Structure 1
Amino acid sequence: MKAHLLIGAASSGSGKTTFTLGLLRALKNRGGKVRPFKCGPDYIDTRHHKEAAGFPSVNLDSFMMSEQHIRELYQRYTSGADYAVTEGVMGLFDGYDAMKGSSAEIARLLNIPVILIVNAKSTAYSVAPLLYGFRNFYKEINIVGAVFNFVASESHYSFLKQACEDAGVEALGYLPKQADVEIPSRHLGLTLDEAFCLDTFADRVAELVEKHVDIDRLLALTACRPDTVSPVSFQEERQSSPLKISIARDAAFNFAYEENIRFLHQLGRVTFFSPLKDSTLPESDFVYLPGGYPELFLSGLSANRSMLQSIRNYAEAGGKLLAECGGMMYLCNDIKSSEGTSYPVVGLLNQSATMEQMKLRLGYRTLRYQDHILTGHEFHYSRIESQEEKLLSVATAYTAKGSPVDTPLYRYKNVLAGYTHLYWGDPARNQWFIDYLNGLI
């Protein structure tokens, strides 16, 4: 690589994603091979990275992954690349337990230089102590420069540059305050907003980055040295087997971790199918129903009765099926829209999911199932309706700090389903998944 960097921020809402998309597209437009990464468990930003960079984005998450796995991922996906751009999560030092799980932890582990994005709205020289604090708080990471967002004018930026100089952090430019570089809500159907085109948005932000940010200086400050990424020995690739794997992928189901899918490709032949458009399941030994936006396609999903029946027949015959979040909702008797309209779906799980009275549930989850530990992340607005004969969870669930939480994992025949987006791409932590596929749990 020529350069690699992590885009951190003082807090959420500073504009990490906007700047990341613009920089990814700008580097791509310059003809460079750029590889995107995302700190933490987010599976929506990674999809946007892929569109901006033209290459899949990979999660780096120290809660769900071992350090060895994170190093292997970074080295494998940056092999042959010119640039690696990692978007941080929340504020730079925000993790699930102080700094644990934070962007700073990933920057330290992989020795990635940090570019700090600072929200300059309603402030000027007062950013100096903020920059000084971030620069000096934790000496095991290297904050090499700052980019400001929501800057009102060149005069405004002059105060910010002075603050940088006095704080010992190099000013690399800014993004001006303007409405056409604001991203709509990403967690409630961004891809379905017909008035918003991510491709056009990435081009627009790339123009602003080229105009107002010194990209050449940014790349010089984040240039790689030969010893930047610690060498690791890759796990030997698994030999392909006759396992036939079917993965739901369409507008309704598309929240999946890149390395999870890659791992499935190692285990057998992967076929993608659409619960919205296809009439039946492909021939399968294992079916994966990831999360997504099923609540926005209820009419189409419910009307595709041949697919509903095909999935039901497969599961009733003992087929192995893993369903997460929206995929789990799809297996219920019905899903109710936010207006209360009920749409019948697969009917394997004798319960109803509803989007009424939406309330966000999110956080890392550890599930103890039999003798296994499963890790993942919960993020949803839906809920399971209370009922007389409540389905019981087969696992006990805990937060990242070990507190009990009522996140369920359901088991019906060989179907596993729950709200947790599970991670099984790490060979050091995925024995549960191998045992499940082999019929041992």
Structure 2
Amino acid sequence: MQKPQVLIGAATSGSGKTTFTLGLLRLLRKRGMKVQPFKCGPDYIDTKHHAMAAGEEAVNLDTFMASARHVRQIYTRYGTECDVCVTEGVMGLFDGYDKMRGSSAEIAGLLGIPVVLVLNAKSTAYSVAPVLYGFMHFRPELRVVGAIFNFVASESHYAYLRGACEDVGIEALGYIPRDERIVIPSRHLGLSIDESVCFDEFADTVAAVIAKTVNVDRLLELCTVDFPGQEVREESRQGNKRIAVARDEAFNFMYRENLEALKREGEVVFFSPLRDTVLPEADLIYLPGGYPELFLPGLSGNEGMRQALRAYCETGGRLLAECGGMMYLCEHITGTDGVTYSMVGVLRQEATMEQMKLKLGYREVVLGDKTIRGHEFHYSRVKPGTVGGANGVKVYNAKGEKVDTPVYRYKNVVASYIHFYWGEGRMEQLLDMLL
């Protein structure tokens, strides 16, 4: 079986991968095609935008947090029923956590996906030729089939770029003009979303632009290759647990495969720390990351939910909290404005958004001969309190260097800045390891 499959790569971050991907997803959706979006790496923000543009929830493909076998399985599983698979790369095409390891190029090679490069053409013309040549020939086993240029000033500017492609032997598939309407401000690629920007409208605008300036039909033709085939599903390991997952505007950073793994444990129900005043009956609670710092008055004002969570944890309830969810369990959160708000109070410490500094990277948590991997990405920090760490746990980065990211434990609560990935296994294995 063949179908269009494309990985949108770039020479560097900031080239326009996300902009073009959102526009392409929306344009294909408008054509009546069923599109399955994927995202290379651990990002849980781009995937939300993909879902909005495509009308289909995106899936992370990450070869640090999961095995190559698992990545192939989920690509096949989610891509089988769609008309076209669109994968957005991460950083530059060959940028990984260790040379090419974990890079978009590694994913493209693993899955046999053709690559279309998006290049920033601002203040350059024929000099894109050696750049394209290098990307085409650095790893000949990769199929770099076409190029799209961003920030193009005019048709004459694009003519120079097209000539460079002809001399290199790669197809020029079109361009994205300089247009303030289709520039995502840098803060939207970070941890906050400006509510004044409507990403649904944004995707429509980009789709309309690229419909005029990009040869999408040719892109699909060049990227139509053999699909891996129908996945052979393993026997379901359906359990009988009831798992409550926080999901609302404040808490929504979660990997799709993590939720699928929870469904194998039993019934998954959702609740809102912003609006619900009581917890659903549950054997296990998951507080994912998100934007609690944008909803501090609402979270603090919902005393019913704060008390319910505190009572659940104090009586031995099993709970996993990640990043924003961990902050919510603290006694207080101080916002960027310096105002401090009361939170759940299970973890005797304070989180603050003051003096923000980005901390990010892959993490491997080791306890004896057991390991679990994940990703850390936040601007907040925790002021040390009295809460202890999980006994014997060591945390390393992707290069095997020890890092100071804590994994907190209180009764049957595990909390950390780390967004864990258990899509290849079971959340219970993670908790059993740490409790």
Note the 1:52-131 alignment, pairs <5 A: 52-131=53-132
State whether residues 71 and 232 of structure 1, in contact with CA within 8 Å, keep that contact through their aligned partners in structure 2: no
Which of 353, 361, 364 is matched with 2:351 structurally? Answer: 353
Aligned residue for 1:405, secondary structure, equals coil
Which one-letter code corresponds to 2:428 in the other structure?
I
State whether residues 291 and 421 of structure 1, in contact with CA within 8 Å, keep that contact through their aligned partners in structure 2: yes
Note the 1:33-44 alignment, pairs <5 A: 33-44=34-45
If the length of structure 2 is used for normalisation, what is the TM-score? 0.96
Note the 1:417-428 alignment, pairs <5 A: 417-427=415-425
CA distance in 2 between counterparts of 1:337 and 1:247 reads 25
State whether residues 388 and 410 of structure 2, in contact with CA within 8 Å, keep that contact through their aligned partners in structure 1: no
Equivalent residue number for residue 268 of structure 1: 266
What's the CA shift for 1:339? 2.3
Which one-letter code corresponds to 2:345 in the other structure?
G
Larger deviation, residues 47-56 vs 228-237: 228-237
CA distance in 2 between counterparts of 1:177 and 1:352 reads 44
Aligned residue for 2:157, secondary structure, equals helix
Matched, 1:170 2:164: no
Equivalent residue number for residue 392 of structure 1: 389
Aligned residue for 2:225, secondary structure, equals coil
Deviations 1:408-438 (A, max 9, x none): 10111111000000000013xx5xx333566
Which one-letter code corresponds to 2:151 in the other structure?
F
State whether residues 44 and 186 of structure 1, in contact with CA within 8 Å, keep that contact through their aligned partners in structure 2: no
Aligned residue for 1:404, secondary structure, equals coil
Deviations 1:147-201 (A, max 9, x none): 000000000000000011111111000000110001132255654x232111100
CA distance in 2 between counterparts of 1:366 and 1:338 reads 30
Which of 304, 307, 313 is matched with 1:306 structurally? Answer: 304
Which consecutive aligned stretches of 4+ in structure 1 deviate over 6 angstroms post-superposition? none
Classify 1:366/1:210 alpha carbon distance in 2 versus 1 (closer, same or farther; 3 Å): same
Equivalent residue number for residue 205 of structure 2: 204
What's the CA shift for 1:374? 1.1
Deviations 1:283-338 (A, max 9, x none): 01010000000011111101111100100111111111000000000011111112
Which of 379, 403, 406 is matched with 2:404 structurally? Answer: 406
CA distance in 1 between counterparts of 2:106 and 2:37 reads 18
If the length of structure 1 is used for normalisation, what is the TM-score? 0.95
What's the CA shift for 1:371? 3.9
What's the CA shift for 1:10? 0.4
Which one-letter code corresponds to 2:222 in the other structure?
L
CA distance in 2 between counterparts of 1:3 and 1:96 reads 28
CA distance in 2 between counterparts of 1:232 and 1:210 reads 33
CA distance in 2 between counterparts of 1:160 and 1:88 reads 22
Classify 1:168/1:408 alpha carbon distance in 2 versus 1 (closer, same or farther; 3 Å): same
What's the CA shift for 1:372? 1.9
Aligned residue for 1:128, secondary structure, equals helix
State whether residues 387 and 409 of structure 2, in contact with CA within 8 Å, keep that contact through their aligned partners in structure 1: no
Equivalent residue number for residue 219 of structure 1: 220
What's the CA shift for 1:262? 1.2
Equivalent residue number for residue 429 of structure 2: 435
Q: Report the count of equivalent residues.
A: 432
State whether residues 315 and 321 of structure 1, in contact with CA within 8 Å, keep that contact through their aligned partners in structure 2: yes
Structure 2 runs not aligned, ≥5 long: none
Aligned residue for 2:224, secondary structure, equals coil
Which of 281, 284, 287 is matched with 1:283 structurally? Answer: 281
What's the CA shift for 1:237? 1.9
CA distance in 2 between counterparts of 1:224 and 1:3 reads 6
Equivalent residue number for residue 18 of structure 2: 17
CA distance in 1 between counterparts of 2:397 and 2:431 reads 26
Equivalent residue number for residue 45 of structure 1: 46
Aligned residue for 1:163, secondary structure, equals helix
State whether residues 350 and 391 of structure 1, in contact with CA within 8 Å, keep that contact through their aligned partners in structure 2: no
Note the 1:249-264 alignment, pairs <5 A: 249-264=247-262
Classify 1:142/1:436 alpha carbon distance in 2 versus 1 (closer, same or farther; 3 Å): closer
Matched, 1:292 2:293: no
Matched, 1:332 2:330: yes
Equivalent residue number for residue 234 of structure 1: 233
Deviations 1:205-246 (A, max 9, x none): 001111100011001100123xx427764322222x321110
Equivalent residue number for residue 373 of structure 2: 375
CA distance in 1 between counterparts of 2:432 and 2:357 reads 37
Deviations 1:80-125 (A, max 9, x none): 1110000000000000000000000000000000000000001011
State whether residues 242 and 283 of structure 2, in contact with CA within 8 Å, keep that contact through their aligned partners in structure 1: yes
Classify 1:190/1:22 alpha carbon distance in 2 versus 1 (closer, same or farther; 3 Å): farther
Classify 1:412/1:371 alpha carbon distance in 2 versus 1 (closer, same or farther; 3 Å): farther
What's the CA shift for 1:393? 4.9
CA distance in 2 between counterparts of 1:338 and 1:32 reads 43
CA distance in 2 between counterparts of 1:64 and 1:73 reads 13
What's the CA shift for 1:2? 2.3
CA distance in 2 between counterparts of 1:175 and 1:24 reads 15
Which one-letter code corresponds to 1:109 in the other structure?
L
Deviations 1:352-376 (A, max 9, x none): 1110000000000001135420100
CA distance in 2 between counterparts of 1:82 and 1:357 reads 47
CA distance in 2 between counterparts of 1:412 and 1:105 reads 39
Which one-letter code corresponds to 1:391 in the other structure?
G
